[in-house]
Structure 1
Amino acid sequence: MSNLSSKQTRVLASALARSVNQQHQAIKRRLSGRANLLKPEPPTWWNGDPAFAGLVPREEQEVDMTILIPLWPDSAGQDETDTLQLQWKPSTSGTWQNAQAPILVPGPISGGFPMPVTLEKSYFAFEGAFDLRYTVLTEASNTAESDITQFIIDKTPPNNGQSPTSATFPDTLVISDGITQDYLDDHGGLDLAIPIYQEEKLGDSLDVYVHEVGTSPTTPAYSGAIDANRRVKLPIDAFSDLLDGLIYISYRLVDKVGNKGAHADNATVGLFLNPLPTEPLPAPRVPKIADDDTLQLVDIDRVNAGLVEIDPYPNALENDLVVLTWGTAALKVTHRITDPFATIFLNVPYETILKPAYGTATAVLPTPIGYVVERGDKSFASRLATINVDFFVPGPVNPDRPDPVNSALPRVTVKGSTSTVDNVLTADDVGDPVTVTLKLYDPIGTDEEMVLYWGGITNVVGRFNPVTGNPGEDYEFTLDWDAIKDLPSSTQVPVFYTVGRATPPGNVESCVPTPVDVSAALPIKLANPEFPEAAEASDGSPILNCSTHVGPERLVSVRIPGNTGLLQGGETLNFTWQCYTDKAGTAPVNAPLEFDRTITATEASNGFEFLQGPFDDYVLPTGRNGSIKLTYMSDTTPPMQGETLIRASGTLPGGECPPNSRRAFGAGGCGC
């Protein structure tokens, strides 16, 4: 079989025919006493190998070519000048063209030959076979022609520039078991078979690339010729820097000129140089079910980061792919190993995996969880872990599940006994029942309950169990004032209810909270005043007695704790000090005492202390066993308030408390 392409065959056949004709003409000229001049000489390529005569290397096709002109016989003598003209033409053309301006060669010629002449690259910018000659014109107007030199410009990559078919693996053991270290050691590398391709030519070679899936090859693992059996052996070290798993092997054909063809399609094979995982692998774990053995909505969110954990398994490797199956969910969770010795944390999305796996279940659903490790085209299975899953929630479908707030549940409306504006309680409502109304949700099932909350999930103020009535009907909670009077106050107290199963307890969802303004009815609570020097009464309660008064002026030490988030600094606090003659604070004596203090930002966040007196006004009126109530209120809108009632005594048997030896801090007095 010829190693020449059809294109080369046509070009060389034409050149051969012309060469025979030229030789025939040369013989006729010699017989007639005329002979052609010696042919011009192009550069020597391929070490003069005649199999590739005239074939221009790829890197020299883009530069000017230096042509050597031999000295012709009977050249110009003294006071004569010969004219040299280099000419070229495509071999398929019959018309010669001048390659550059004529060169004057004065005689007598004593040196400078062979003469270098430049053939510009523009004359062979396109591919094909080209003829080259020169003529010499004497002053006597005689012209002699040289023999012809041919060269070939080939710019077409092998296989006509198309991607060749992928290589194959002659050894079926590689196909079945992959490439192992033992196989490479036993065979000294890996054999590849190269399929037949178009326009095969003498001198063709190839570059072979070995790389991991998802990477792009840059440096060939092998460059060389294809043997007579169309085989190539890749060396062992071609695989030494690759991670175990699927790898790609591709190649590029390279012709003698240096034209590189397109990458062949990838041949895929498994690489297993390290020990394989051993089955069964450890079962996955779901730590969030540790408390109750059941995964519920409260345990999850939309992403569920780290919901499933997998301990390091035997012979784990970087680049292993872990594929988790959750119940009947069609989608899988995948994780590419980067640290073989670390615990694996898998995110299991609710919408695409957890929800489809739970389906239409309305009770606890046992759910199997398992995974496989994929390394190349091999897989290794784990033990299964079966966990209980409960995602059922009574009521309408929550469009934002697993968010516990269900916008499809009807919201509540709050009304006071006298208020005319919904969701606002005023001072006139204080002490009276509060009404909370709502529309019953749809659908209503059996054994369900509604729980009403005021201000937060820790403050249960109503319960409706079982839920009876028809969807859409009005339902009303009536709250005694005592149920809310001690709860935090705000302009936006959240009031809401949850819906869930009564027994056994399961998932619950709440309606969107309704903000209720109770600031006019219930002052917003500030931190209660403290009395750092207080002693302990016989019943264990704190008391201000003769031993706790500070200094000779018998003052009272007071501390106001920090109120971060409520006070900012710059507010004026109004203090009210009321003495009582009974310890329960029901028998006031004298008018309340009032004083103000403007606080700094530091005092607002960290709190502050002061001494209060004089004794005769602030303590003595409490008598033998009375009490003191200290209240303070901010000048903010709405106002905020804190207060403390503490037992107090201004006298002892025989008279009023004597002066105390303990030194007063500061300058004495209230410090306001």
Structure 2
Amino acid sequence: MDPNRKQNADQARQAYIRQRAERQGARNDLALAEFPDAIAGDADGLLPVSALSAPIKVKVPDWRINNPPPGLSDELVLEWRLPDDPVYSPLWSQQFTHPISEAFPLLQSIDPRYFNGREGTFQFRYGVRSWNSGQFDYSPDQPVTLDRTPPYGAEDPPAVVPIPPVVDTQLDADGGIWLSVPDFVEDKREFVKVAVVWSDTVPPADQPIVPDIVQLLALDNRVFIGRALIERFASGDHYVAYELFDKAGNRSRPSRVQTVQVARGPLPVNLRSPVVPLASDGLIDLADARLGVTVEIPAFDAYHPDDDVIVRWGSALLTPKRVGEGFPPFPVVVPLSWAHLRDEYTNAPDTQSVPVTYLVRRGTTPFPLPAGDGITVDVNLAYPGPVNPDEPDPINGRLPPLVVTGDSGTPNHLTPADAGKNATASLTLYDPPGAGEVITVYWNGVPLADSRTLDGSETAGDLVEFNVLWSEIEAGQSGVVPVFYSISHADFVNEQRSKETLVQVEAVPVELPAPTFPDLSDPGSGNLLLNCQSLRKRAADAAIGYRVAVPASAYLVPGESAKLRWVLLEADQTTEVSGSELAATLTIPAGAETNGLPWFVQPYADYILPAHTDTANGWGYAKVTYKLTVNNKEEESKFELKIVGLQDLDAPGQTCDLTAIPEIP
């Protein structure tokens, strides 16, 4: 054999082996996937935040190096490693049977469930298990970065660095001013954009700004504001705010507002005297203290939203209140704590005059109210009787309670056997009792005729009894009746009182007043009745009907139930009109004991119109009753019958025209 030929053959075989190895090696070095939505050129594969509300698109390149036998399959898997997990997690996989019909690169996606609420840099790869292999070959790791956090996160960025007053000489020399955004930490800082608003009004809080400038933020954090922007507004206080946008497009919250004085705008002037609304009657007492005393500062000129108002009550400086905290800003309402009010009252039991003034502080510079414009407020917080640990609450929980008994002898329970008879309210005297103290017992909020004035001979623990007249019991009605006593004194402005004793009163017959109709009409005969003019349309649902009112009474207990019934009667005032009965169970709302309970009878066609169409005479009577549970027994109200006449000769069908009914809420 020719030695040269043998050598050439060996070289050819070696070249083939090398080529096959190179091909196999290339097979194991899969090309990187492509993320179409990633920000071009970003080394970390950063995705814009706008792309995170949908599946993340991935393009996988063609991994095939030959044409495999038909019918055999490759398997493709997408994986990534979470920022805090060293192990790759599968995202998606699929078998591809040869010949593969899908176009390359293959467009796949990562489901949002794998990245909702997460951020950071993920290491992504895809793997292929070839038709002739039992193992996966993987592409190199490539970063995919999700960023959901704007600069400063959920916090408001600080205001721009304070700017010295802007004057014309500066504008003439520089053509504008430079403002500086406080330094902050942010990845890819060089790509951060800034949006700035310059205005003569304070930008609305918690709303994105409407910017005058949007640009990349220079690395020195400075932004130039041209003269034209500044001179849009008159001299005075101007306001600057900004927002930051990171490379992913996350938008920061609006910054805190910085105030800039332009041409030395006017400082706070025309300060007016403070007002203490609860002192309008000439005195701050315990009842006022319990409600909450405030000092109001009227509007003054050239105010600044960041101005602080500091009230001086006597010798105490109250907590500063920022003008811009309220909306509208004036009056500035400054609360006076009980501790300040109490500590400045040192003249018990007499009334004490307390001086009240204030100052406005802009930055660290005070602008005090002129001395002659301060006011004085009379205060008296003294009260007779034992010390109340719950002051300023007038109810002293340590006062012994009253005990009420009737002839039946059951404590705090007047049974039917006690009807028509007086009862006794007994008190074990508190410690210490004082001469001149007046003890007044209240039965269902009304003072009893029998009271006691202590003469100084009494001692703690003495039994004091009060006569409760039957007329007073009867006036207080049946049910659970609150009973308490107060302690007053001629030398004291204030009084205190005990906790309520709840007395079960069954001795008074229960009489529930009849329901009324607020919209009765007088056709001229002097007889009030229900007619077409009595109808009302409810605005919420356009329902047409009649209004009914259950009168206010102590029996209307909030949270309890009231059962109401409406029915139409024939002219004989006895026979019910078939199908006209309407029943409802209402939960009694708060305030019903003083405001009553409203009810709306509807729909018109079902429960009102039958008075015209289904009665023998073409008119009838309305009967409304209600039932309440009193003393664990269901009681029914009285009722008044009202004529229901719906005849209208001028209307279609000669009954009510429903096109112009007055509306109610």
For normalisation by structure 1, the TM-score amounts to: 0.43
TM-score (norm 2): 0.43
